[in-house]
């Protein structure tokens, strides 16, 4: 006969992810959006005077779609989880997005999808990271309700909580 199951309070393993977080909508006045680099370099080709193709670099301003994406990312609730070192990856992602809007392709779209998954920018990525988004008002109301119920509820001491269900009388 197998032993009875252990009480839930003595379980050895707790299924809690280290990335779990509840994100709140930022206050628009408190949002600090880092600057994109002023321009990006793009390689161009031209025929030289000797008939050979030569490559040169041109500074190109960011497309409006990319600038809007950048503002959306840093105005989102996920921005609070970004570390300063994440900015470099987001710069590379901005370059991919800019290239996609210049020359749309399925390959560019696949690269964007792959690169953005680490930043929780899609609902599926947030689910994988166990991030949930709560609006500030809802979070504040929930906190007030939670505090009100814990303050009004009588507290139980260890002696008043009843016998431990794990203990049995042995005769």
What's the pLDDT tens digit per position in 137-168?
A: 666 777 778 778 766 665 555 555 677 888 88
pLDDT value for 64: 95
How far apart CA 129 and CA 119 sit, in angstroms, is 9
How far apart CA 60 and CA 123 sit, in angstroms, is 32
Each residue's pLDDT tens digit, 13-47 = 666 667 777 887 878 788 888 888 877 777 888 88
Calculate mean pLDDT across residues 55-82.
Answer: 90
pLDDT value for 27: 81
pLDDT value for 50: 84
Whether residue 136 is predicted with pLDDT greater than 60 in this model: the reply is no
Calculate mean pLDDT across residues 128-135.
Answer: 82
3-state SS string for 100-119: HHHCCCHHHHHHHHHHHHHH
DSSP 8-state code for residue 28:
G
pLDDT value for 53: 86
Calculate mean pLDDT across residues 73-88.
Answer: 89
Token code pair at residue 18:
């280290």
Contact 72, 26 (CB under 8 A): no
pTM reported for the whole predicted model? 0.62
DSSP 8-state code for residue 167:
-
**What are the percentages of helix, strand and coil residues in the chain, rounded to 5?**
45, 15, 40
Greatest Cα pair distance in the chain? 105
């Amino acid at each position: 006969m197998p032993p009875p199951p252990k009480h839930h309070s003595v379980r050895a393993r707790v299924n809690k992810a280290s990335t779990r977080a509840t994100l709140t909508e930022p206050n628009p006045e408190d949002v600090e959006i880092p600057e994109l680099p002023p321009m990006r370099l793009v390689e161009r080709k031209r025929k030289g005077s000797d008939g050979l193709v030569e490559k040169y670099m041109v500074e190109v301003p960011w497309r409006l779609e990319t600038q809007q994406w950048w503002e959306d990312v840093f105005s989102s609730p996920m921005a609070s989880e970004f570390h300063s070192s994440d900015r470099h990856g987001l710069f590379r992602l901005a370059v991919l997005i800019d290239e996609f809007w210049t020359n749309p392709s399925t390959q560019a779209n696949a690269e964007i999808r792959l690169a953005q998954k680490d930043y929780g920018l899609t609902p599926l990525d947030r689910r994988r990271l166990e991030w949930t988004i709560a609006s500030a008002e809802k979070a504040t109301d929930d906190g007030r309700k939670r505090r009100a119920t814990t303050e009004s509820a009588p507290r139980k001491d260890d002696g008043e909580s009843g016998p431990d269900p794990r203990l049995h009388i042995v005769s």
